[in-house]
Amino acid sequence: MYNKTQIQDFQKITKDFLANPHAIELGTLKSVLKFHEYQYYVASEPIISDFEYDQLYKQLIALESTNKSLITADSPSQRVGNSLNNSFQTVAHLVPMLSLENSYNADDLFDFDRKAKEGAELATLEYCVEPKFDGASISLFYENDLLVRACTRGDGIAGEDITNNIKQIRSIPLSIPLLANGIQQMEIRGEVIMSKKSFIDFNQKLKEKQIAPLANPRNAASGSLRMKDPKEVAERNLDAFIYHISYYLAAPGKTPSTLLTTHSGSLELLWSLGFRAPQKEKKLIAGIDQVISFCSEFEAARDTLPYEIDGLVIKINDFSLQEKLGMTSHHPRWAIAYKFKARQATTILENVEFQVGRTGAVTPVAKLKPVAIGGVVVSSISMHNEEYIKEKDLRLGDTVIIERAGDVIPQIVQSIPSLRKGNEKIISFPLHCPVCNALLEKEEAEAVWRCNSSLCTAQIIEKIIHFVSKDAMDIKSFGEANIRKFYELGILKTIPDLYTLQLDKVIGLEGFGKKSIDNLNAAIEVSKKQPLYRLIYALGIRFVGETTAKTIAAQVHHILDLQNYSEEQLQSFEDVGVKVAKSIFQFFQESKNIELIKSLEALGLNMIQTNTKAVDGNLVGLNFLFTGTLTQLKRADAEAMVEARGGHILGGVSSKLNYLVVGEDAGSKLEKAKKIASIKIITEADFIELINIHSKY
């Protein structure tokens, strides 16, 4: 949507603003924010960090708060709704929202093509083939450039007004250049989806809060549309593809774009207006034979997409032919859906195992009669907690429907009670830990039963497994099986044992030659230098995932500084709520945890915030300037290093400057900087060290 010059202009405005945050006019600020939203959410080519976007956004809020009359309906600030204005009133669609006819094989498609050719009176037809997005359909109405209303499909004739929730989806623009394209009103259709990554992240968050996960990205999207609180919708990180213009009205005296004569043209127009319309995802194909081969190729590649699709939609490209063919009361005659093979299967729930995790949480795992779905044999699925079993009324011996959505973990969708024979058994949760026999406990308002015994072998082993895992200390070549083996041999009973392992005791055991021992030793040594956030994550503090670990690490110098933080102070960290703060606080109050950390420090593990913090943005909020000739680094590279870490390069010496990096033959800038006490004057060597070990400063 933006051309090269516009992109460069916006980049420059952004850079200048970040260097000097107050000098920006409201109109410019809004278009800059809109530009960055587009780059991030539609074009998938962000050019600034989240932090920088937030700086711009904060400035917008500050400017708008000085005078409320400056707030326009399409201001990025207007995406934030509140729960009070969600009305969900019924609204009639301008044009009914029809469904699609389904096809499942080549014969169905040949049939469709034959009828379409007869209707069109042509020997061959050109089709536009695009993904059938697996989400929830929506209808949007724009008038005089502004998004006026967003609705659900409802019964196809009328839907519900969900405008406030839809405004939370950043790939849906609040305003578009309609009038400039000769259009006054436009009604468009699309699909709200949740990407596979957002789905996994969202379920992870639910898991940390001990809430049962959502079954698949489609449910996650459709369940969002009618949520009471738009803020909850925003948290779901939804996206939307727009694939159809159902109605438009020309602006008085204007002729709308000539693109509006074909379906592929209308997708191009939608894209140029700023929507995420299928562009790279669509293909124009002449003749049904080619369409059929394209469908099978695409089906084989479906898992490579970052979002779920459940088929392809084949549409006659020419609008005049579409009109000629018309529609039934259910579906257009000019389009058909080619549905992919279902990723659902039915099987028998044969048994339940209760597994004890590193936090003592007891998870019921369904043992299923092995069944293939989407090319993978599934025999075991987590049932999360007791509530999940009750809600779905799952019983031993039940026939259950299971589903695997792309690369997402398989789920039990439901049981089929009508197939029960009468000998199915209610699943009862154990009262005692299946590993150490301690009495299980459940906190109020929690769904999880827990073994709280510190002597529980299962927990000890799981904690060690977590500590060495890839996202934690990443001790390569130390798999789960080895940890269990070493535990049984008695040489690995605690986390510190990892660093004093008597590996001579395992030499000669199956799989442990000299080479593998050397590799293991090397991996253990490397892990000592891991950045602090990995250690924090590896310690397995409840509710502290990788992101929270990074947030916490960024706030401290030494890990034990965390002993000095109150719950309130911890809550002031981004993303740290009451529950997480409490858990971190408790962890650092327990003497056995402090002892563990101290013994790891004595064994040589890094406890200090080091260079990885830099890679993740440790120079955020700091301003730099280089002067004189650098001898080791190129000036441009040095500046890029600062920016890559979230810092900024200033144009001159001012009180905003934090660091002046002085090369050879520095002149007036150095003299000026010496007069401002707050500026740190450092050498090139200091700078290199600063980049590597930021925490020293």
**Chain positions contacting ligand IVH, by CB under 6 A:** 98-100, 130, 132-133, 137, 191, 243-244, 313, 332, 335, 337
111, 113, 119, 120 alpha-carbon torsion, rounded to 10°: -170
Which positions ≥6 away from 300 have C-beta within 8 Å? none
In the chain, DSSP finds a helix count (H) and a strand count (E) of 24, 22
Closer residue to ligand IVH, CB minimum distance, 37 or 113: 113
Amino acid at 619: L
Closer residue to ligand IVH, CB minimum distance, 221 or 495: 221
Closer residue to ligand IVH, CB minimum distance, 126 or 386: 126
**Rounded to whole angstroms, how far apart are CA atoms 263 and 317?**
5
Q: How far is the CB of 157 from ligand IVH (least distance, A)?
A: 13
Closer residue to ligand IVH, CB minimum distance, 82 or 328: 328
CA atoms within 13 A on the CB side of 154: 19
Q: Helices 4-19 and 26-37: crossing angle, nearest 10°?
A: 120
Q: What are phi and psi of 192, to 5 degrees?
A: -85, 130
Is 132 a catalytic site residue?
Answer: yes
Tokens of 477: 């070549």
Determine contact, residues 331/100, Cβ cutoff 8 Å.
Answer: yes
CA 85 to chain centre: 27
Closer residue to ligand IVH, CB minimum distance, 313 or 562: 313
Q: How far is the CB of 152 from ligand IVH (least distance, A)?
A: 11
Q: How far is the CB of 326 from ligand IVH (least distance, A)?
A: 11
Q: Which residue's Cβ lies closest to ligand IVH?
A: 137
- Concatenating the DSSP letter of every residue in 568-584 gives HHHHTSTT--HHHHHHH
CA-nearest of 154, 250, 238 to 202 is: 238
Q: How far is the CB of 235 from ligand IVH (least distance, A)?
A: 24
Q: How far is the CB of 617 from ligand IVH (least distance, A)?
A: 37
**Rounded to whole angstroms, how far apart are CA atoms 300 and 171?**
28
Tokens of 71: 């707030």
Closer residue to ligand IVH, CB minimum distance, 20 or 99: 99
Closer residue to ligand IVH, CB minimum distance, 243 or 533: 243
Judged by DSSP in three states, 655 sits in coil
C-alpha pair distances (Å), 107 with each of 112, 243, 288, 292: 9, 26, 11, 10
Q: How far is the CB of 343 from ligand IVH (least distance, A)?
A: 17
C-alpha pair distances (Å), 330 with each of 99, 152, 156: 6, 17, 9
Q: How far is the CB of 634 from ligand IVH (least distance, A)?
A: 48
- Concatenating the DSSP letter of every residue in 49-95 gives -HHHHHHHHHHHHHHHHH-GGG--TTSGGGG---GGG----EEE-SS
Instruction: Give the full edge-to-edge strand order of the sheet including 344-356.
Output: 376-382, 362-373, 344-356, 399-403, 411-415
Radius of gyration of the chain (CA): 30
Catalytic residue among 34, 132, 167, 196: 132
Q: How far is the CB of 153 from ligand IVH (least distance, A)?
A: 6
Q: How far is the CB of 93 from ligand IVH (least distance, A)?
A: 11
Closer residue to ligand IVH, CB minimum distance, 130 or 403: 130
Longest dimension (CA), the chain: 90
Tokens of 395: 């019983």
Determine contact, residues 620/51, Cβ cutoff 8 Å.
Answer: yes
Tokens of 30: 């809004």
Closer residue to ligand IVH, CB minimum distance, 169 or 600: 169
So which residues are the catalytic ones?
A: 132
